């Protein structure tokens, strides 16, 4: 990727390793693998891997099979990663050998991303004097700050998502089903050059829009009701995430009222970040207060937003403390600091069971100079499409 600062990524990772008491880190999270090396192949699930990355104070190596190398060396050239080719060798034996050569004493592994079976194989291969230690995802904290190349990629993804939605609005009509709308939007995404959706597209019409993670059904779109679409694209590995709520025909007064409250909550988010608030729960509180004052506070049932990048959900987290205990407070404190040069979503919502819901989501670039909305801004007034 052009402008990717692999040097910063590696040095920040090594610093966090040192702070955690590790002198080696085995990386199996595919997004972290790509982030550190540029290696693009994806994994099926936790039982499958296209490769591991081994980080030590002395080296950066990628352990991969011969079905990827040779052929993809160009992807990792900028990162300087060394290929540890598992051609007639086992992954864990290569890890053990390099750990021994580099003098590793305490090798961390990403505890959420390595199966017990593979942990056991690595443990057996390692020399007895090398500890194998479960670790939090250290690299996700490094990934929260975006470099110039990542910001460029996120802008591209946001633009493709915006263009796809604009095209969708020209095709939507009364009588289309939620599934048809989702399929149409995802086809438009690919026609515009996206690799595909960054998550399964959500289309909720009428009462379905009251469930934040509604799955599209054969229920048809009807005039006057809320239609909520949550969608995103992947462009060169980077994700977009947007939500739009609109209606076909004249919106009923309650829909106009709820939409205005949610849009005002979005404004409060931008102002909070622009004023220098950088703790996620405080940004969430600024938006939540607007909905509290409008009488809909108890209908905003999820967090305000999240970071976005190689994965659709990244750090930082912008949400409230749901269980007020010292332990949960400490957990939230670890993931909620909003750094400069990060991209976050701004997605307040109001959900009224049996009637419907409104969620508005934009992507924000937070910099030392302020805040920029990098998706097309949700309009001040609800979009009302002509009945076709």
Tens digits of residue pLDDT in 366-388: 999 899 999 999 999 999 999 98
Q: Is 1 contained in some domain?
A: no
Query: How many angstroms separate the CA atoms of 37 and 39, rounded?
Result: 5
Strand partners, 306: 317
**CA–CA distance, 39 with 192 (Å, rounded to integer):** 24
Q: For the chain, which ranges sit under pLDDT 50?
A: none
Q: Indicate whether 178 and 316 sit together in one domain.
A: yes
pLDDT of residue 2: 61
Question: What is the predicted pLDDT for the residue at 48?
Answer: 83
Q: Are residues 88 and 210 in the same domain?
A: no
Task: Please indicate, yes or no, whether residues 138 and 153 belong to a single structural domain of this protein.
Answer: no
Domain stops at, among 142, 160, 187? 142
Give the count of domains, the chain: 2
Q: Are residues 81 and 219 in the same domain?
A: no
Q: Which domain holds residue 56?
A: 6-142
Same domain membership, residue 158 and residue 34 = no
The arrangement of strands across the sheet holding 242-248 comes to 202-205, 227-231, 242-248, 383-385
Pairing of strands 60-64, 82-85: parallel
* Shared domain check, 353 and 272: yes
Q: CA-CA distance, 173 to 181, in Å (whole number)? A: 9
Residues 136 and 89 in one domain: yes
CATH number at 328 reads 3.90.230.10
The verdict on 373 and 224 lying in the same domain is: yes
Query: Is residue 83 assigned to a domain?
Result: yes
Structure tokens at 34: 């790509």
Does residue 204 sit in the same domain as residue 59? Answer: no
pLDDT value for 47: 82
SS3 of the chain: CCCCCHHHHHHHHHHHHHHCCCCEEEECCHHHHHHHHCCCCCCCCCCCCCCEEEECCCCEEEEECCCCCCCCHHHHCCCCCEEEECCCCCHHHHHHHHHHHCCCCEEEEECCCCCHHHHHHHHHHCCCCCEEEEECCCHHHHHCCCCHHHHHHHHHHHHHHHHHHHHHHCCCCCCCEHHHHHHHHHHHHHHCCCCEECCCCEEEEHHHHHCCCCCCCCCECCCCCCEEEEECEEECCEECCEEEEEEECCCCHHHHHHHHHHHHHHHHHHHHHHCCCCEHHHHHHHHHHHHHHCCCHHHCCCCCEEECCCCCCEEEEECCCCCCCHHHHHHHHHHCECCCCEEEEECCEEEECCCEEEECEEEEEEECCEEEECCCCCCCCCEEECCC
Cα–Cα dist 280/316, whole Å:
7
Give the tokens for residue 357: 């819901």
Together in a domain, 156 and 128: no
Specify whether the CB–CB gap between 52 and 39 falls below 8 A: no
């Amino acid at each position: 990727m052009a402008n990717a600062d692999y040097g910063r990524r590696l040095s920040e990772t090594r610093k966090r390793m040192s702070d955690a008491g590790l002198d080696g880190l085995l990386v199996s999270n595919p997004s972290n693998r790509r982030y550190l090396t540029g290696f693009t192949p994806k994994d099926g699930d936790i039982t499958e891997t296209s490769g591991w990355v081994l980080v030590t104070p002395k080296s950066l190596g990628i352990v991969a099979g011969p079905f990827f190398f040779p052929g993809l060396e160009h992807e990792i050239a900028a990162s300087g990663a060394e290929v540890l080719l598992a051609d007639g060798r086992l992954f864990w034996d290569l890890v053990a050998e390099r750990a021994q050569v580099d003098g590793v004493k305490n090798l961390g592994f990403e505890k959420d991303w390595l199966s017990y079976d593979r942990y056991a194989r690595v443990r057996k291969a390692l020399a007895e004097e090398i500890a194998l230690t479960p670790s939090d995802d250290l690299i996700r904290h490094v990934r929260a700050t975006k470099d110039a190349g990542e910001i460029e990629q996120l802008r591209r993804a946001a633009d493709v998502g915006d263009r796809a939605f604009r095209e969708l609005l020209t095709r939507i009509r009364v009588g289309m089903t939620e599934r048809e709308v989702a399929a149409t939007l995802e086809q438009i995404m690919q026609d515009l050059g996206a690799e595909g959706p960054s998550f399964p597209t959500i289309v909720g019409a009428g009462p379905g829009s009251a469930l934040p993670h509604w799955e599209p059904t054969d229920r048809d779109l009807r005039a006057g009701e809320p239609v909520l679409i949550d969608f995103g694209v992947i462009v060169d590995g980077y994700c977009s995430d947007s939500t739009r709520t609109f209606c076909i025909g004249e919106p009923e007064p309650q829909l106009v009222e709820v939409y205005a409250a949610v849009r005002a909550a979005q404004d409060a988010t931008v102002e909070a970040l622009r004023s220098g608030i950088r703790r996620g729960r405080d940004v969430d509180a600024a938006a939540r207060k607007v909905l509290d004052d409008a009488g809909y506070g108890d209908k905003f049932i999820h967090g305000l937003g999240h970071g976005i990048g190689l994965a659709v959900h990244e750090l930082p987290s912008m949400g409230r403390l749901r269980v007020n205990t010292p332990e949960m407070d400490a957990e939230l404190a670890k993931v909620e600091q909003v750094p400069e040069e990060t991209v976050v979503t701004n997605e307040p919502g109001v959900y009224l069971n049996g009637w419907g819901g409104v969620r508005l989501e934009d992507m924000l670039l937070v910099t030392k100079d302020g805040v920029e909305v990098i998706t097309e801004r949700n309009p001040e007034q609800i979009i009302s499409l002509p009945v076709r």
